[in-house]
Structure 1
Amino acid sequence: MKIINLPQPFKDALPILEKLRDAGFEAYFVGGSVRDTLLNLPIHDVDIATSAYPEEIKNLFSKTVDTGIEHGTVMVLDHGTGYEITTFRTESTYQDYRRPDKVQFVRSLDEDLKRRDLTINALALKTNGEIIDLFGGLKDLDKHLLRAVGVANERFHEDALRMMRTVRFASQLDFKIDNETLTAISQNAALLSKISVERIRVEWIKLLIGKNPRAGLEDFLKTKLYMYCPLFELKEAGLEKIKTIPNLKLDNEEQCWTLIATCFELTAEEAGQLVHAWKCSKELKMNVTKAKKAVEAMLANELTPYIQYLTGRDMLEVACRVVQLINITDYTSMSVMLAYEGLPIKSRKDLVVDGNVLRQFLNIEPGPQLGKMLIQLELAVVNRKVRNEKLALLEYAQKLIVK
């Protein structure tokens, strides 16, 4: 097979490959960019594989960065763009089921492609557009099939994260997993416990926001991979609930975790603990906690103006999306967002008085009392008990002191 018109990212990188080839080395485009081109999907970064060893690459190009030189990867900088070039390699045993004990550089493309995870990712593209396919990847692309290169058990023992990548691709590409490959994932699912939570999380979120998350979730459950994910072991029923949601479409990580927490029947505090267990950022934990509180209020028909205020526009949109997906209330995104936009203030910064003004006017020292008063002013303004005007707020604050 031959690609007649190479996408622009490949054309931009052609001088890199040609320079390697002119120096007597083999060089090809490999991996996801080749796969996505054949699927008519947009491509971003292009990866290059070559028979040149790292030091040979560095000698050829004037601007390089050792991004992963111990594994044969050197980044070449060309007119402001970085291209990762990796030497053909074979790998020894994998004692930690993630990183090889030893990497050996080779001159053979065949040897390099043998170590890749799936046939659809083991394709190489020549500068003239010709596809090199050693493992039936083109046929699997046509059949929308995910199949491990060679012996599936060996591929997953080399890198246990490949199991999560496979179920993620089932969602992302809406492909079916080959029976032998699926069986191998089931047999080796426990190896996922050897992989860092951060790496699992990347694949998990990509699965949920993929083209067909229900397909990915079905394989995730069928193979028992969920048993080896943080705080998921006893949550099969919740995961099944997510899987059965019609028109399941998620757009961001906050939506993912808020929906998970809702289907797991977690409190907002427990949702924060779940997100923490998955090594998410403090900001994400805070956002999911806010969104989950808003969901709880909606489900109880108690979404007050103050809860809307505390939640904020972005997390209210997340909460609305989750409630829309589980489809058990009359709340609509439009009504909630219109109510939010009608709030007198959207944050403490919108108050026309601040802590310094209050302290000087009331002659009080900085401390918990001042912070509590600002919260009370926010609540009063949001609930329209007092106008957001300086005199009105100071008079209200004076009454709070008297109380």
Structure 2
Amino acid sequence: MDGDTVRIKNIPNEFKLALPILRKIEAAGYEAYFVGGSVRDTLLNRPIHDVDIATSAYPSEVKALFKRTVDTGIEHGTVMILDHGTGYEVTTFRTESGYQDYRRPDKVTFVRSLKEDLKRRDFTINALALSEDGQITDLFGGLADMKAKIIRAVGNPEERFNEDALRMMRAVRFASQLNFKIEPQTLSGIYDHSQLLKKIAVERIHTEFVKMMLGQDAQNGLTLMIKSHLYQYVPGFTSRLIELQKIANAPFDLKNEVQVWSLFTSNFRFQREQIALFLKNWKTANKIINDVILTTELIFQIKSQKVNNLNLYWAGRQNVLNAVDVLSRSLNANLDDLLRAYDRLPITDKRQLNITGGELIKQKILSPGPQLGKTLAELERAVVLGQVKNQRSALIAAAIALNKE
């Protein structure tokens, strides 16, 4: 078989744990290799996530070798093996053809050839196979591209992106995460096929986009999205080129998904309802939407220098931290003061109020009803602003005063 070979002397523990599976398949006379992202990340000294195995054995042959298996994607040749403590996905070497929906193959053909299997993969750095003795099989120049820090499609980029349009987002995500460049022909293929991104489910784009924005060179990822026109085919970005360019040209270092979206919503000057609609279109979780609203509102208050204890209290410590992180690279203000101010708040949760509705009823200050809730909210506000001490006697006195008015 042609191609470069490199041997890894100390294979990571994640692979060692799966070696019994590889050996059992090989002992039955088939080929088996570790493939994909885990091999790439090993060579780049990055943490390994999923250990995937590819084999020349057909699914029925794999199932005959192991006691406990699950058909996780049997039509695409994938069987989950459960009888070694951890679940490992084992996929038969295959070729694919006919991509009507620009995402999934219409036809999958099982083959015995590793080369045919690696040929259908997205990028050269992901088309590497690792054998049980630590030998890397590289048939498409993935090792050289890794060394040169290049993302290159396997074979013809036009074909790869027609097969699966999500690969275009994966390319910009890898460029961001790994701090690699996309080679010209591959980038040109993304530009020519960017409109195919419309065919991909938003949830899948969402995952790649957030990973891209949390990468070590996220500005590069965003710049590539603008350059290749991918930005035109994701929710809410089409008419925002000027703001997107501004974001891509400014330094930022984001730590979580709330910060990712808050960077955009604050630059787009979105209000509460606009944020909710924008993020619903991105199929974002409700908890994230709520935190983005609170973080964005706090960012506006910080920028206009109108932050009080109540703003910090309603945002909550994590969202104060989110706002500080989003602004830390672009604002010269001493943002650490905001966290210190939050930590000095008399209470950070209404459950810390030293009086309950039940006690106010018991003291015959109030009866059950809307006025009770209103009074508790007023007391909470007054305590946060330092107008009333969080002591039972002071709170009772304040409640009496409030209800005399």
Both proteins in one fold, TM over 0.5: yes
Deviation sequence 1:157-201 (CA, Å, 0-9, x none): 111000000011110011110111101100100010111111101
1:199-210 paired onto structure 2 within 5 Å: 199-210=204-215
1:11-47 per-position Cα deviation (integer Å, ceiling 9, x unaligned) = 1111110000001111000001111111122223211
- Are 2:14 and 2:51, in contact at CA under 8 Å, matched by a contact in 1? yes
Partner of 2:146: 141
**Alignment correspondent of 1:330:** 333
**C-alpha separation between the residues in 1 aligned to 2:364 and 2:187?**
69
- Corresponding residue for residue 300 of structure 1: 304
Give the secondary-structure state (helix, strand or coil) at the position aligned to 1:325. Answer: coil
Inter-partner Cα distance in structure 1 for 2:119 and 2:366: 73
1:239 Cα shift? 1.3
Q: Which residue of 2 aligns with 1:393?
A: 395
Conserved? CA contact 1:320–1:331, under 8 Å: no
Q: What SS class does the counterpart of residue 284 from structure 1 fall into?
A: helix
- Distance across 1 between alignment mates of 2:400 and 2:179: 62
Q: Note closer, same or farther for the CA distance 1:361–1:97 as it changes in structure 2 (3 Å cut).
A: farther
Alignment pair present for 1:164 and 2:166: no
From 263, 270, 276, the equivalent of 1:272 is: 276
- The question of whether the paired residues in 1 share the 8 Å contact of 2:69 and 2:83 is answered with no
Select 2:322's aligned residue among 299, 318, 321. 318
**Which residue pairs with 2:292 in the alignment?**
288
Specify whether residues 182 and 358 from structure 1 end up closer, same or farther in structure 2 by C-alpha distance, changes over 3 A only. Answer: same
Q: 1:362 to 1:271 in 2, by over 3 A?
A: farther
Question: Is 1:186 matched up with 2:188?
Answer: no
Q: For 1:94, what is the secondary structure of its paired residue?
A: coil
Q: Deviations over 1:339-387 (max 9, x none)?
A: 1111110001101222333344347554443332221111010111111
Aligned length: 400
Task: Using structure 1 for the length normalisation, give the TM-score.
Answer: 0.95
Opposite residue 382 of structure 1, the aligned amino acid is V
Letter of the 1:296 counterpart: F
| 1:266-309 per-position Cα deviation (integer Å, ceiling 9, x unaligned) | 22442233222211111000101111111111111111101111
Which of 71, 75, 88 does residue 70 from structure 1 map onto?
Answer: 75
One-letter amino acid of the structure 2 residue matched with residue 322 of structure 1: V
Q: Give the stretch that moved more between structures: 16-25 or 72-81.
A: 72-81
Q: CA deviation at 1:147?
A: 0.7
Cα deviations by residue, 1:311-359 (Å, 9 ceiling, x for unpaired): 11100000111222222x5242x21111111111000110122233334
The code of the aligned residue for 1:36 comes to D
Q: Which residue of 2 aligns with 1:2?
A: 7
* 1:45 counterpart SS class: coil
1:173 counterpart (163, 173, 178): 178
1:49 aligned residue: 54
Which of 125, 137, 160 lines up with 2:130 in the alignment? 125
1:18 aligns with 2:20: no
TM-score, structure 2 as length reference:
0.95
Question: Please, which runs of 5 or more residues in structure 2 have no aligned partner?
Answer: 1-5
Aligned residue identity for 2:270: L
Instruction: Give 4+ residue runs of structure 1 displaced > 6 Å after superposition.
Output: none
Q: Aligned Cα RMSD in Å?
A: 1.5
Q: 1:117 to 1:393 in 2, by over 3 A?
A: same
Q: Is the 8 A contact 2:67 2:83 kept in 1?
A: no
Q: 1:400 to 1:158 in 2, by over 3 A?
A: same
1: CA distance between counterparts of 2:84 and 2:355? 51
Instruction: State the Cα distance separating 1:244 from its structure 2 match.
Output: 1.1
Partners of 1:73 and 1:325 lie apart in 2 by 45
Bigger shift: 254-263 or 224-233?
Answer: 254-263
For 1:366-381, list aligned pairs within 5 A.
Answer: 366-381=368-383
Cα distance in 2 between the residues matched to 1:178 and 1:36: 20
Determine the C-alpha separation between the residues in 1 that align with 2:188 and 2:376. Answer: 59
Cα distance, 1:212 vs. partner?
Answer: 0.8
Counterpart of 1:250 in structure 2 is 254
Between the aligned partners of 2:110 and 2:369, the Cα distance in structure 1 is 63
Residue from 191, 204, 222 that aligns with 2:227: 222
